[in-house]
Structure 1
Amino acid sequence: MASIKDVASLAGVHRSTVSRIINGEGTFRSDTKRKVEQAMAELNYRPSAIARSLATASSNMTGLLVTYYTGGFFGQMMEQVQAELDRHNKFLITAQGHHCAEGEREAILRFHALRCEGYVLNCRSLSDDELRQLAQEATPFVLLDRFVEGLESRCITFDHQQAARMAVDHLIAQGHREIACISGPLSRASSHLRFQGYTQALEQAGIDYDPAFCAEGKYCRKSGYQAAERLYHSAPSMTALFCCSEEMMQGALQFFHEHNVVIPEQLSLISFDSIDLCDALYPQVSSVHFPISEMAQTAVKLLMSQINQTECHITRHFLPELRLRNSTLRRSLSKS
């Protein structure tokens, strides 16, 4: 395996010259750079990432904190963060927060120990005060799908409440009044906002809120199945259902198929969707789209601008899009 000494010898320059050209330090004559690059190509020399980080005091690594690794939502997020970092020749380090503040705190400490240049934080449990305190440190970070007062310039946000209202408003416009909801964990800010959107849409339409029509899930397929089962018994008159995530919706759809509830003739169904899962099911499920791919890409762009101390003119607040498919019908055609 070739070394930097071999490259210097073949190019006829000093080792420090090779090192500085690799790390982009200083200016050199074009013929000197060409000799070094040709020597590297001939010897198939690849600079050590560790050596470069020591030389430049930069690890070239970015930390991404997620709640957990499973599920299409987080897979899509990681894929898009990696794709955008590839454009900047940066490495990605990921860590799970394990649904608790201590787990998120440990992940950030790990990023710091690895000398990450910056962090993209999709954190759910750390308090606003702790994040404001973290902002006092030198390492930049961006909050993905989180709003913290005082850190507006670091936040990439989505209007969860409006998205839920759009979904339920569509069901109401279709003549439904017995509308059930499978929410996410209401301890999460985004889940609570979605639930608020559901109840506000009902209130605006003059429909009384009934807790029997609501079941709390855990953003996974199994919890969606279990929530659908609870609603099947607690709200047998429901004619429509709003699911606050595509994976919970998939579990609910499985339950209703198993119990011969026909979608949409007997039950209209609408869901949140971030990974186009709703378009791949039968029937195709109407949804409000949560653009996590675009948000993840934007978070990296914003972080790179912070690291490089450049201006970044981007959209930081994203809005939902209603996508109507085959899973809803007017009340007159639904279960009586």
Structure 2
Amino acid sequence: MASIQDVASLAGVHRSTVSRIINGEGKFRADTKRKVELAMAELNYRPSAIARSLATASSNMAGLLVTYYTGGFFGEMMEQVQSELDKHGKFLITAQGHLSAEGEREAIRRFHHLRCDGYVLNSRYLSDDELRELAQEPIPFVLLDRQVSGLESRCITFDHRLAAKQAVRCLIEQGHRKIACISGSLSRASSFQRYQGYVEALQEAGIIQDPGWAEEGDYSRESGYRAAQAIYRACPEITAVFSCSEEMTLGALLFFHQHNVAIPQQLSLISFDSVGLCASLYPPISEVHFPIREMAQSAVELLISQIQGQPSATCCHFQPELRLRDSVHSRLKADGF
């Protein structure tokens, strides 16, 4: 196995020159860098990540905390974070929060022990106070899809309430008055904000909500199926459903198909979507788009700026986009208005 001294000898330069070129330190003539690169290629030399870490006081690793690994949403997040870190020559270390504050604490402790240069935290369970306390530590972090007062410069956020309002307003504008909602767990901030948007849209239109119109899920397909079943059996008169995640939408669609409820002729449907799934369903489902790829990209850009001690022009707040497809039927036309 070739050593850094072998590379230096073949390139005809000092060993420290090879080390500094590998670590991106200092400025060198183009022909010197080229000779070192050719020598590395000829000898099939690969710099030791551990050695580079000791030489630069940087592990070249970044941590990503997610709730869990399954599901298209988290897969999309991890893929985009990895892709962005690759551009900066950094390795990705991921950890699950295991649906608890202690699980999230343990993940951050693991990042710290591995000497990660910084973290992207999709934290759901740590309190705002605990995150503000963590911000007193020297290792930088960015909060993805989380707003914490006092940490605004570290937060990448999305307007969940406005997104839900846009979706429900669209259904109302199409003549729907009996609109159900399949929400996520209302103990989660983003889920509660989506439910708030649904309720506010009904209230602004003067629609009195029937308690049977809303059911909580947990963002899984199974919970979407159960929620659709409970809503439709309790309130078969509903004409539209707003679903707060694409996975729950899949479960709801299965229930409706099994019970011969035609979309959109009998029931209109709008879903949250972050991975483009709704466009591939039949019929294509109207969606309010949650731009997790763009948010993950911005999170990494912001983190790299913090690691390098530079100001960032990264967009930290994202607005929803409503994408209408074939799953919304106008009752205005159906009722002859």
Change (3 A) 1:318 1:27: closer
Q: SS where residue 190 of structure 1 aligns?
A: helix
In the TM superposition, what whole-angstrom CA distance separates every residue of 1:259-306 from its partner, at most 9, and x where no partner exists? Answer: 100001111111111111110000011111111111110111111111
Q: Look up the match of 1:211.
A: 211
In the TM superposition, what whole-angstrom CA distance separates every residue of 1:127-167 from its partner, at most 9, and x where no partner exists? Answer: 00000000000010110000000000000100000000011
The alignment yields a C-alpha RMSD, in angstroms, of 1.6
Asked whether the equivalents of residues 268 and 334 of structure 1 are also in contact (C-alpha less than 8 Å), the reply is no
Q: Look up the match of 1:83.
A: 83
Asked whether the equivalents of residues 181 and 241 of structure 1 are also in contact (C-alpha less than 8 Å), the reply is yes
| Bigger mean CA offset, 281-290 vs 11-20 | 11-20
Using the TM superposition, give the Cα deviation of residue 17 of structure 1 relative to its aligned residue in structure 2, in angstroms. 3.5
Asked whether the equivalents of residues 239 and 334 of structure 1 are also in contact (C-alpha less than 8 Å), the reply is no
Q: Look up the match of 1:321.
A: 321
- Measured in 1, the distance between the counterparts of 2:287 and 2:154 equals 28
Q: Look up the match of 1:276.
A: 276
Q: SS where residue 230 of structure 2 aligns?
A: helix
- Measured in 1, the distance between the counterparts of 2:37 and 2:241 equals 62
- Measured in 2, the distance between the counterparts of 1:260 and 1:38 equals 66
Q: SS where residue 261 of structure 1 aligns?
A: coil
Change (3 A) 1:35 1:183: same
AA in 2 matched with 1:110: R
AA in 2 matched with 1:64: L
Asked whether the equivalents of residues 225 and 251 of structure 1 are also in contact (C-alpha less than 8 Å), the reply is yes
- Measured in 2, the distance between the counterparts of 1:181 and 1:15 equals 65
AA in 2 matched with 1:181: C
Residues 150-189 of structure 1 correspond to what in structure 2 (within 5 A)?
150-189=150-189
- Measured in 2, the distance between the counterparts of 1:32 and 1:277 equals 50
- Measured in 1, the distance between the counterparts of 2:308 and 2:136 equals 18
* Number of equivalences: 335
- Measured in 2, the distance between the counterparts of 1:263 and 1:27 equals 63
- For structure 2, the residue ranges without an aligned partner over 5 or more in a row are none
TM-score, scaled relative to structure 2: 0.96
Using the TM superposition, give the Cα deviation of residue 26 of structure 1 relative to its aligned residue in structure 2, in angstroms. 4.2
Q: SS where residue 202 of structure 1 aligns?
A: helix
Q: Look up the match of 1:285.
A: 285
1:233 and 2:218 aligned: no
Asked whether the equivalents of residues 219 and 248 of structure 1 are also in contact (C-alpha less than 8 Å), the reply is yes
- Measured in 2, the distance between the counterparts of 1:315 and 1:26 equals 31
Residues 91-170 of structure 1 correspond to what in structure 2 (within 5 A)?
91-170=91-170
In the TM superposition, what whole-angstrom CA distance separates every residue of 1:21-62 from its partner, at most 9, and x where no partner exists? Answer: 322334556555444333212211111111111111101011
- Measured in 1, the distance between the counterparts of 2:298 and 2:124 equals 19
Using the TM superposition, give the Cα deviation of residue 209 of structure 1 relative to its aligned residue in structure 2, in angstroms. 2.0
Q: Look up the match of 2:61.
A: 61
- For structure 1, the residue ranges without an aligned partner over 5 or more in a row are none
Using the TM superposition, give the Cα deviation of residue 19 of structure 1 relative to its aligned residue in structure 2, in angstroms. 2.2
Q: Look up the match of 1:190.
A: 190
Q: Look up the match of 2:5.
A: 5
1:246 and 2:246 aligned: yes
- Measured in 1, the distance between the counterparts of 2:334 and 2:104 equals 45
1:223 and 2:219 aligned: no
